[in-house]
Amino acid sequence: MNNNSVLTFNNKMLEYLYVQNLPQATYNLDLSNCPELKFLKASGSGFTGFVFANGGLLNEAYVNQPVSLVMRNLNSLTKANFHLTDPTAVTSLRLENCSLFDNYTFINELTNLNVLRLTNINWSLNTNTLLDRLVELMGIDEIGSTINQSYLSGNVELTGTVYEGDYDKYNNAWSPDLVIDVSHASQFIN
């Protein structure tokens, strides 16, 4: 298999998957048809991407250093139970509606991110450094295609100094899906 290959599992009853210590497995692992999967151990393997079942039961995963992750409606998964060996390897992330997952901390760890779709965020930020980084990224639309602008939805409260130009830049990029509240900002500067 080459780097563009995909290994797909089509087992609707699969609950536990061990695919560890396979360094030559340099392809994507598609688990989108495994909604009952609760546990994945892929540490030590070279998988370049993971697509988890939308709305699946995943509650613990060990992955090495994937380039891409697709995680949608995984309401049993926490960041503490998602063990990622090298977060700097991730360049593409689709993280949607994972209610228990600490997306703020996770995004800050992914320092080489280039493509992002992130929904249901609820952040209170004293600085807009993270938003400045994310506004420069490309995005993913509803059907999974890459688009020119990162996609964020949810709520962000900016409590530090906010410049009107930055506020406008964020609104142009993400409004109306991302609501940016500056009512508690220490300063709003034109």
Q: How far apart are CA 160 and CA 84, in angstroms?
A: 32
Could you tell me if 135 and 150 are in contact, meaning their C-beta atoms sit under 8 angstroms apart? yes
Beta-carbon contacts of 11 under 8 Å, excluding residues fewer than 6 positions away, are 33, 34
Is the confidence at residue 4, as pLDDT, over 90? Answer: no
Residue with tokens 């209610």: 99
* Number of compact structural domains in the chain: 2
Q: Which of 113, 142, 164 is the last residue of a domain?
A: 113
pLDDT digits (tens, 9 = 90+) for 160-187: 999 999 999 999 999 999 999 999 899 8
Q: Residues 68-90: what's their mean pLDDT?
A: 97
Q: Residue 77 contacts by C-beta under 8 Å, 6 or more apart in sequence?
A: 58, 59, 60, 61, 71, 98, 100, 101
**pLDDT, tens digit, for every residue of 107-120?**
999 999 999 999 99
Q: What is the pLDDT of residue 2?
A: 47
Give the gyration radius of the chain's Cα atoms: 18
Same domain membership, residue 88 and residue 21: yes
Q: Are residues 65 and 108 in the same domain?
A: yes
145 and 104 assigned to the same domain: no
Strand partners, 125: 158
**What is the dihedral sign for C-alpha 40, 113, 144, 120?**
positive
Same domain? 2 vs 67? yes
Q: Are residues 170 and 108 in the same domain?
A: no
CB count in 10 Å sphere of residue 134: 22
Q: Which of 113, 135, 155 is the endpoint of a domain?
A: 113
Residue type, 85: T
Mean pLDDT, rounded, of the chain: 95
Residue 37's domain comprises 1-113
pLDDT-based confidence at 190, cuts 50/70/90?
confident
pLDDT digits (tens, 9 = 90+) for 12-70: 999 999 999 999 999 999 999 999 999 999 999 999 999 999 999 999 999 999 999 99
Residue 1: pLDDT over 60: no
pLDDT at 3 over 80: no
Q: pLDDT digit string (tens) for 115-143? A: 999 999 999 999 999 999 999 999 999 99
